[in-house]
Chains A and B, each alone.
Chain A
Amino acid sequence: MSQALIDLVREKFPEAVVSSHSHRGDEVVTVKRENLVEVIGFLRNDPQTDLKLLRQIAGVDLLTYKTEMTGGAALASIEAPAYEMQRKPRVEPRYYVSYNLYSITKHHSLRVRVELRSDDVKVPSITSLYRTADWWERYVYDMFGVEFTGHPNLTRILMYPEFQGFPLRKDYPVRKRQPLVPELDFPDLVRGPGPGPGGAGVPMSQTHVGRQNVDPSTYD
């Protein structure tokens, strides 16, 4: 359908394209990280492509893509703790980030992919091109730990700030638990009148049992 888009990117940025493929009608082009903003900026603004809608930014961790077990063993593998994952062979580049672009006027779409090595999980932010990139980049950061350089506010979006690790990485065990988060200090809030523990003048956080933080590594 839109093989034309891949051809166009190859023509305009012959240096930038790493690979491309088309599968079940979906066009995918992988570009070098340093050219990402340039390529996407072109695809967005060129009247011929007009890919003005950024549908989604998706992340994928390829750590167990080849080695994952199947059948009943696959379902049992959800119990595999993180250290077992560590022994798996390294896959590089381990991550890729997929930018799903669409044109409402031309009705064509293209996925632009950037591959990332596990020792350098950074991508330039495209928040300057799409407003909607803000939350999607925060999402991918939250789930995969991909750092989007230049993002105005790269904080967790679905998980809470105290959460440790990145849940959609394949070495994050599905059943992993994390300790309760201690209550934050509200200097002007006190719990209960009178003397004694939790009495007048004692900040809430100092009365909460959850304050006795537990080492997260013991929570596998």
Chain B
Amino acid sequence: MTEPGLPDTDPLALEAEIPTAPMTVNLGPSHPAMHGTVRLVVTLDGETIVEAIPEIGFLHRGFSKSSENSTWHQVLPYTDRLNYVSPILNNTGYIMGVEKLIGLKPTERAEYLRVLGGEISRICDHLTCIGAIGLELGAFTTFLYAMEARELLWDRIAELCGARVTVSWTRIGGVATDMPAGWEEHLRGCLPRVLELTNEVDTLLTRNRIFVDRTRGVGVISGDEAIDWGFTGPCLRATGVNYDVRKAHPYSVYDRMDFEIPLGTRGDTYDRYVLRLEEIRQSHRIILQCLDQMPPGPIIIDDWRYALPPKKEVFGSIEGVMAHFKLIMEGIQVPAGEVYVYTEGANGELGFHIVSNGKGKPYAIQVRGPGFPILSALPRLIKGHAVADLIPIFDSINMIGGEVTDMPAGWEEHLRGCLPRVLELTNEVDTLLTRNRIFVDRTRGVGVISGDEAIDWGFTGPCLRATGVNYDVRKAHPYSVYDRMDFEIPLGTRGDTYDRYVLRLEEIRQSHRIILQCLDQMPPGPIIIDDWRYALPPKKEVFGSIEGVMAHFKLIMEGIQVPAGEVYVYTEGANGELGFHIVSNGKGKPYAIQVRGPGFPILSALPRLIKGHAVADLIPIFDSINMIGGEVEQ
């Protein structure tokens, strides 16, 4: 073979075969798409994956060894960290193993609570998976929807267990806490929104051309082969094999639940995605049935050999204090034996192989994480695909995230519904920062300016009021309906960075009051004047009358005609007085217009504020004047 020439001199150069060699690419362990630190050593021939070797162990924390050196109850927090997206399912799986060794049944209410918590966790897990697969194919929006839904549920879990992720919620013979007062209403209240968000993801992805092209027929595996590789859970059911532990070997109260097991047909990435969507809906059904069927009663058995006695007994009786002491110091005594207990985790069969020698701690524990055998098949799934297909396949196995329109129907309820959360989050910020020693030290007395000097520099808004000067356009010159609103103007005293921060916090609360008063006082009626010299006629008139069509034409083609004159109009913007200086010559466009962005004069004083301070103070001072570039630079 002769050496190919240069393309511009040799016409055959472009036809010539280019000698290539396989290239090795490392993906991970620290790569945003390699969830949970996995390293993939991928051998590429051009874009095609020739070989892929997963390397795991970067997240190995010695679960078995730690558990074998803990009491039976101390293992529980370790199980939270196995699948940290659906920890309640792990808690339940492990505790069921211990109960199986003892031969113990938890109380009926506890069984329902476990199923309830487990299905909430399953939804969270699936939302994370389908959110991430969209995200990594470029659909960031779906990820945000999925995360919003997951956040709603994690808040419920936090209310139930006291923690979002590290829940450690189950106990031998029951669960740690019952549903708090009002929790059921919270849960029932947020579930429709969770489904709504799931449907948003569904409508954005499931029939999306790009998404379907990238996932259908990609990473295909047959049912028999999937079983051979040890697949369980959604990845197995996507191939059409009907195996779900909840149906095949119903545990807890799953036999009393009415739900379907969705099945795929192709075993590809697309099916694995769709199946998880549908499982979210089925889990939602189970949750509702749990709430309906849940009987009253104790949440943990009354057997002090296994469950801690109530505190009343611990402090009030010798038997109670002894049982407590023995349980804490020696742990429960589990009869000798070996069991394998398996439940349906979010990603497949979650098994615990537990050996007891009859002493106070597990003799041997090994966990069968559903992702372990599935990940081992990753090379098989991705071989021959393009390197860009790697990420969605990897995601799908989920190895371990209008101005002039009227208020839409229900919008007021949405707004009223979310405002308490907005205030709550504001309060979180408040409690985290306002009395925080570091924050106070970094902001109090930093960037101080007096009221007179601030006025001299042209300050308005929060930066001016932080100095104690009471000037707010909404009070001083009430426009719109501000005169009918009952609200306060918070004032600072020192004019420093800290005051500017506190003042904004308080203004959020005042704005919240105004929003509620607006909603209460708002009369029904048209949202725009019916004067066709200034406002577009309704579409019915445009298409139905000659006056309407003429008014529309003139407004669009010529614009409104504003009488000649010069005005300065000012309102209270978020950062101060927002003014427009407008000159009209009576024609269809403004003759001269200048904006007075509140940040413009404030920024001009920045050198005055920071001079003499440490360079580290520059940032908080700059933050506290809240300069908005678009406003200053117009």
Contacts and interface: CB of A to CB of B under 8 A. Distances in A.
Interface of A: 23-26, 28, 52-56, 58-61, 65-66, 68-72, 74-75, 78, 98, 100, 104, 107, 109, 111, 130-132, 134-136, 139, 143, 156-160, 167-168, 172, 174
Interface in B308-359: 329-331, 333, 337-340, 342, 349, 351, 353, 355, 357, 359
Interface stretch (B60-68, B275-283, B396-404, B465-473): B60-68
Given A68-B357, A134-B376, A104 B241 contact: yes
Interface stretch (B135-143, B286-294, B361-369): B361-369
A183 to B, nearest CB: 16
B96 to A, nearest CB: 11
B359 A70 contact: yes
Given A107-B248, A158-B57, A135 B372 contact: yes
B69 A78 contact: yes
Contact of A60 (B57, B229, B364): B364
Given A65-B357, A68-B359, A24 B101 contact: yes
Given A72-B330, A132-B376, A135-B376, A54 B230 contact: yes
Contacts of B377: 131-132
Nearest to B342: A55
B359 A23 contact: no
Contacts of B330: 70-72
A87 B103 CA distance: 35
Contacts of B60: 158-159
Closest 6 CB pairs of A and B: A132-B230, A71-B330, A158-B57, A135-B376, A56-B368, A70-B359
17 contacts: A26-B338, A52-B227, A54-B230, A55-B230, A60-B355, A60-B363, A60-B364, A65-B357, A70-B333, A71-B331, A74-B360, A75-B71, A100-B353, A104-B248, A107-B249, A109-B340, A131-B377
Best-surrounded residue of A66, A75, A159 (most CB of chain B within 10 A): A75
Nearest to A135: B376
Interface in B198-254: 224-225, 227-230, 232, 241, 243, 248-249
A159 B57 contact: yes
Nearest to A53: B227
Contacts of B331: 71
A61 B68 CA distance: 12
A163 B333 CA distance: 34
Contacts of B65: 167-168, 172, 174
B391 interface: no
Nearest to B336: A65
B230 A23 contact: no
A81 to B, nearest CB: 14
A74 B380 CA distance: 45
Nearest to B249: A107
A135 B57 CA distance: 12
Contact of B56 (A158, A168, A172): A158
A24 B353 contact: no
A132 B351 contact: no
A59 B366 contact: yes
Best-surrounded residue of A74, A78, A109, A132 (most CB of chain B within 10 A): A132
B383 interface: no
B337 A168 contact: no
B278 to A, nearest CB: 20
A38 to B, nearest CB: 19
A190 to B, nearest CB: 19
A75 B337 contact: no
Best-surrounded residue of A23, A55, A111, A172 (most CB of chain B within 10 A): A55
Nearest to B372: A135
Given A131-B229, A167-B62, A174-B69, A56 B366 contact: yes
B230 A68 contact: no
B579 interface: no
B373 interface: yes
A100 B340 contact: yes
Nearest to B102: A24
Interface residues of B, number: 52
A66 B356 CA distance: 11
Given A132-B228, A135-B373, A24 B359 contact: no
Nearest to A65: B357
B285 interface: no
Nearest to A176: B65
B509 interface: no
Given A26-B338, A58-B366, A143-B64, A53 B230 contact: yes
Nearest to B354: A58
Given A56-B340, A104-B241, 8 more contacts: A24-B101, A58-B366, A70-B330, A71-B329, A100-B340, A134-B376, A135-B372, A158-B56
A203 B123 CA distance: 50
Best-surrounded residue of A98, A135, A143 (most CB of chain B within 10 A): A135
Contacts of A61: 364
Given A55-B349, A65-B363, A66-B357, A28 B338 contact: yes
B229 A132 contact: yes
Given A72-B329, A135-B376, A24 B100 contact: yes
B426 to A, nearest CB: 45
B361 A160 contact: no
Contacts of B56: 157-158
A46 B79 CA distance: 37
B373 A26 contact: no
B17 to A, nearest CB: 28
Contacts of A52: 224, 227-228
Contacts of B66: 174
Interface string B267-280: 00000000000000
Contacts of A55: 230, 232, 340, 342, 349, 351, 368
A79 to B, nearest CB: 10
B197 to A, nearest CB: 33
B564 to A, nearest CB: 71
A53 B338 CA distance: 20
Nearest to B326: A71
A68 B358 CA distance: 10
A131 B228 contact: yes
Contacts of A68: 357, 359, 363
A157 B57 contact: yes
Contacts of A60: 338, 355, 363-364
Contacts of A143: 64
Contacts of A70: 330, 333, 359-361
A24 B60 CA distance: 31
Given A98-B353, A143-B64, A136 B340 contact: no
